[in-house]
Chain A
């Protein structure tokens, strides 16, 4: 059954702003799906409607076949949301926040404690279970949002910028955890501004801009559209001027750094052969821009992918 199907979803706010202009979206079962877009594109509005937090103006939403208007009970039982904001009672303890949430889904107090233990342990929050939420660090609060969303074992988990403001170590732990959950069969929709996060975790992607879906495809297919990429080379010895590297185009950033464009049909190997012939030794290299980031910018800025 399709975890999420949105048809002609439209939202016009009271001030006349049309946040969604009839979007169609379908997410496959077991998918790890990225919903990307710049600020104000309509991602949060779409998520808000799916999660019953925003009133839609028109259109249909079905979650695992349960129409949100006709069978809100069935639809809501299937969804878990990790929101952008810390939307829990800051004066409640971690365990009470979790147990209350469980109760809203019909899970008894006793059962909630049983279910909470492995989740809190996995997210390194077990030791803090009796701590009031306001005393947790930012990273812990983010993990608490994840724990809360998972307690009723949702089949569709929506992660709205789950790693915003989280340090890199915790971010990696969270990525691993999300991958595990997805491998166990939970369908995940992720919105994020960290495009490397979407690139490494998601299999399918939709890009939303100005209330329209401007792209909806598989991650691989999208990345294949890149006709080239730009690499930054850090040199072992300084260069006084830009060497001739035809057929590659490039520029000298400083004495120890070159930027080279690798267009379609050429490879890094060819570039390295050329550099080797010219006696230029490279100590390290990196992509100038994340691949998805480049495509994303092209799509939301209206141009064709490079």
Chain B
């Protein structure tokens, strides 16, 4: 049997398994994001947002839609991979993959595809929820899609790395709680960094989530605090960096092989 056929089938198998996993527990994986963002739209968008002046020419609820969609995408992409891959370590069924003729990059790609699939599914559900509260625009649909997918890829890889290092279930919630959530909330989801003093504007530029939120906001609303080319470049650079790191971990067997 040829390498390419084995690899293609193995990749499809991992993707199918991952998609089936999150789809079969949709009440835990899809619905919570819809409820949470509906509450965000209701409270921040309708109740509080109605008291806030326009932001860069958009109503507050229109302004926060891209950020909330992207927040759902990245947390779900991350959460999918970290919980799925850690479970496979915890129950030792990751051995099935390590024994088989599946190269490391196929394992990583399979899990990342799974994370992207969940991120995008949840993102679309959140967009549908947003449509119940406000007008959803897509000024640059291709850029929106690109940022959408790249963000899901980046956070899926990050989730994979977290799972590789995790030794218990606490370890898979530490990063989302203490790193991901602050970065997301300070990444311009609810405000434009132009509202911050110059010093904090500069500090915010060190937050990678800012580039994703603004990239996606550019795609949806046609405006951004960051130049879109720079935003895309930074996202791609982070993807390449984390991808290489994850492959290195797999090659070394970190957290997987004694």
> Are the C-beta atoms of A76 and B253 separated by less than 8 Å?
no
Of the candidates B96, B101, B253, B257, the one having the most CB atoms from chain A within 10 angstroms of its own CB is B101
Q: With contacts A88-B96, A100-B96, A104-B97 known, is A54 near B258, CB below 8 A?
A: yes
Chain B binding surface SS class = helix
For window 105-164 of A, CB contacts with B under 8 Å fall at 105-109, 148
Q: Which residues of A contact B96 (CB under 8 A)?
A: 87-88, 100-101, 104, 148
Q: Mark B238-257, 1 if CB is under 8 A from A, else 0.
A: 00000000000000010001
Interface size on B, residues (CB 8 A): 30
Q: Give the CA-CA distance A108 to B5 in the complex, in Å.
A: 10
The tally of residues in A whose CB lies under 8 Å from a CB in B reads 33
How long is the Cα–Cα vector from A109 to B92 in the complex, in angstroms?
Answer: 23
A45 → B minimal CB distance (Å):
8
Task: Determine the residue in chain B with the shortest Cβ distance to A78.
Answer: B101
Contact A83 B95 (CB under 8 A): yes
In the assembled complex, the Cα of A51 lies from the Cα of B99 at a distance in Å of 6
Q: Enumerate chain A residues within 8 angstroms of B253, measured Cβ to Cβ.
A: 55
- The tally of CB-CB contacts under 8 A between chains A and B is 82
Query: Is A73 a contact of B3 with CB atoms below 8 Å?
Result: yes
Contacts A52-B98, A105-B6, A106-B6 given; indicate if A89 touches B257 (C-beta within 8 A).
Answer: no
Bound-state Cα–Cα, A113 to B7, Å: 19
Note all chain A residues with C-beta closer than 8 A to B7: 106
B100 at interface (Cβ–Cβ under 8 A)?
yes
B114: min CB distance to chain A, Å? 13
Instruction: Check: A267 CB closer than 8 A to any chain B CB.
Output: no
Instruction: Quote the shortest CB–CB distance from A131 to chain B (angstroms).
Output: 16
Q: Is the CB of A101 within 8 A of B258?
A: no
Q: Let me know if B12 is at the binding interface, CB within 8 A.
A: yes
Q: Which of A54, A88, A90, A104 has the most CB of B within 10 A?
A: A104
Is B201's beta carbon under 8 Å from chain A? no
Q: Which residue of B lies closest to A111 (CB)?
A: B9
Contact A53 B12 (CB under 8 A): no
CB-defined contacts of A100 to chain B, threshold 8 Å: 13, 17, 96
Q: Contact partner of A77 among B17, B87, B97, B101, CB < 8 A?
A: B101
Chain A's nearest CB lies how many Å from the CB of B238?
Answer: 29
When the two chains form their complex, are residues A106 and B91 in contact, meaning their CB atoms are under 8 A apart? no
Check: B134 CB closer than 8 A to any chain A CB.
no
Would you give the 0/1 interface string for B1-38, flagging 1 where the beta carbon is closer than 8 Å to chain A?
10101111110111011000000000000000000000
In the complex, A219 has a CB within 8 A of chain B: no
Are B93 and A13 interface neighbours, CB within 8 A? no
- Bound state CA distance, A279 and B183, in angstroms? 93
B residues neighboring A (CB under 8 Å):
1, 3, 5-10, 12-14, 16-17, 87-88, 91-93, 95-103, 253, 257-258
Closest 7 CB pairs of A and B: A103-B13, A106-B6, A104-B100, A87-B92, A76-B101, A106-B9, A73-B101
Q: State the A residues within 8 Å of B (CB).
A: 13, 48, 51-55, 72-74, 76-77, 79, 81, 83, 85, 87-90, 96, 99-109, 148
**18 chain-A/chain-B pairs, Cβ below 8 angstroms:** A48-B258, A54-B257, A72-B101, A73-B101, A74-B101, A77-B6, A79-B99, A87-B93, A89-B88, A89-B91, A96-B17, A100-B17, A100-B96, A103-B10, A103-B16, A104-B100, A106-B1, A107-B9
